[in-house]
């Protein structure tokens, strides 16, 4: 008999919200586990991956992020500084440079250069000849190598209204949302976070949803009531977890584990499953192996009553799985 299903903490949490399912499908497909914010002129900083995959508005993104954090599916880390308007909270701030004398915003900025050999300092326009070549205005030497012949020592600003020159302009900030001017003292300094997805949650979802889901669908099509992950309580009283536990209308139990590796799986995967099978004694035990088993493991499996299905991908095992389930139904009927 199967005990009540014990849902995988991450997978079941993701499956509770279709928006999270869409997001995690997107993350697996794109190979991402970090979501970076981007600036939107209308809404401020938001997360395009969430908007794109969940098909939600920027205003709904915050709700989804809060849910991800609440369910333990991810957390936030500092990403960047954000300046906000103290009046309306908008992040759409524009910076203005003013002449400190007449308050004009018509400023012209130039680099200040120094001829290293003779110490002459002036704006870059004074160092350029009619052809645009840098030449010392004092001695006439050509300046070709920065750091050797000349160096940049700063900038200065020339007001095109009152024609005065300054090395430090007055700076103000304009909120593009409420159109109010803000000083540096009035600006609100905040921060924007990047969203770090829990790798364990991502791996569990990838395994459950993209690998195990096709198997679950086949079992359901064959009349099984399926729990994934599922548990079976053994003779010892211990509950053993399997990737999939199915029960048909006659009470026959099928236990399925899925083993996925980059390399061929050895005997250890058979022995680990047999420990659970020995205590629980399901009607049928199946081990799905991606990309396959070693010859020794393949020979060991039937000795322990374990049926193995091998393939380079889950799609490779669907046809033999259907055949096996058909035979199982025929035997039981």
Q: Write the pLDDT tens digit of every residue in 123-173.
A: 999 999 988 899 999 999 999 999 999 999 999 999 999 999 998 999 999
State the residue for tokens 């980059």.
262
Tell me the CATH architecture of domain 210-332: 3-Layer(aba) Sandwich (3.40)
Q: Write the pLDDT tens digit of every residue in 179-193.
A: 999 988 999 999 999
Q: What is the largest CA-CA distance in the chain?
A: 106
Whether 9-81+190-201 and 210-332 share one fold: the answer is no
Where are the domains positioned within the chain?
Answer: 9-81+190-201, 100-168, 210-332
Q: Is the pLDDT confidence value at 12 over 90?
A: no
One of 1.10.10, 3.30.70, 2.40.50, 1.10.1740 is the CATH number of 9-81+190-201, namely 1.10.10
Residue 333, pLDDT score: 56
Residue 2, pLDDT score: 32
Measured distance CA(286)–CA(298) in Å, rounded: 13
Using alpha carbons, select from 29, 28, 30, 63 the residue that is nearest to residue 47: 63
**pLDDT, the chain, mean:** 90
Residue 3, pLDDT score: 33
pTM of the model: 0.60
Measured distance CA(155)–CA(165) in Å, rounded: 11
Mean pLDDT of 265-278: 96
Phi, psi of 190 (to 5 degrees): -125, -165
Rg (CA), the chain: 34
Q: Write the pLDDT tens digit of every residue in 199-231.
A: 999 988 887 777 888 999 999 999 999 998 789
Measured distance CA(216)–CA(209) in Å, rounded: 10
Q: Write the pLDDT tens digit of every residue in 73-108.
A: 999 999 999 999 999 999 999 999 999 999 999 999
The Cα-based distances of 36 to 14, 64, 79, 264, 319 in angstroms read: 20, 15, 8, 36, 41
- 3-class SS of residue 216: helix
Which of 12-21, 66-75, 83-92 bottoms out in mean pLDDT, i.e. has the lowest? 12-21
């Amino acid at each position: 008999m199967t005990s009540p299903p014990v849902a995988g903490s991450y997978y079941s949490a993701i499956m509770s919200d279709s928006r999270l399912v869409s997001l995690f499908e997107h993350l697996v497909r794109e190979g991402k586990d970090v979501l970076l914010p981007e600036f939107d002129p209308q809404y401020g900083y938001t997360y395009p991956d969430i908007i794109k995959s969940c098909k939600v508005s920027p205003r709904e993104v915050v709700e989804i992020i809060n849910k991800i954090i609440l369910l333990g599916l991810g957390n936030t880390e500092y990403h960047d500084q954000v300046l906000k308007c103290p009046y309306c909270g908008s992040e759409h701030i524009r910076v203005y440079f003013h002449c400190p004398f007449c308050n004009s915003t018509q400023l012209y900025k130039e680099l200040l250069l120094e001829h290293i050999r003779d110490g002459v300092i002036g704006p870059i326009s004074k160092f350029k000849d009619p052809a645009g070549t840098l030449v010392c205005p004092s001695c006439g030497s050509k300046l070709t190598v920065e750091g050797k012949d000349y160096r940049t020592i700063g900038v200065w600003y020339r007001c095109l209204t009152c024609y005065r020159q300054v090395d430090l302009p007055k700076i103000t900030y304009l909120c593009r949302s409420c159109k109010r001017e803000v000083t540096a003292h009035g600006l609100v300094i905040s921060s924007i976070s990047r969203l770090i997805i829990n790798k364990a949650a991502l791996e569990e979802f990838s395994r459950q949803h993209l690998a195990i889901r096709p198997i679950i669908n086949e079992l359901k099509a064959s009349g099984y009531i399926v729990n994934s992950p599922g548990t079976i309580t053994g003779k010892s009283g211990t509950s053993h977890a399997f990737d999939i536990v199915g029960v048909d209308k006659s009470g026959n139990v099928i236990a399925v584990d899925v083993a996925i590796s980059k390399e061929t799986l050895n005997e250890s995967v058979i022995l680990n499953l047999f420990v659970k099978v020995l205590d629980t004694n399901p009607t049928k035990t199946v081990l799905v192996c991606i990309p396959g088993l070693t010859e020794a493991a393949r020979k060991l499996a039937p000795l322990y009553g374990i049926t193995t299905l091998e393939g380079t991908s889950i799609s490779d095992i669907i046809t033999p799985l259907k055949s096996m389930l058909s035979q199982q139904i025929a035997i039981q009927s």
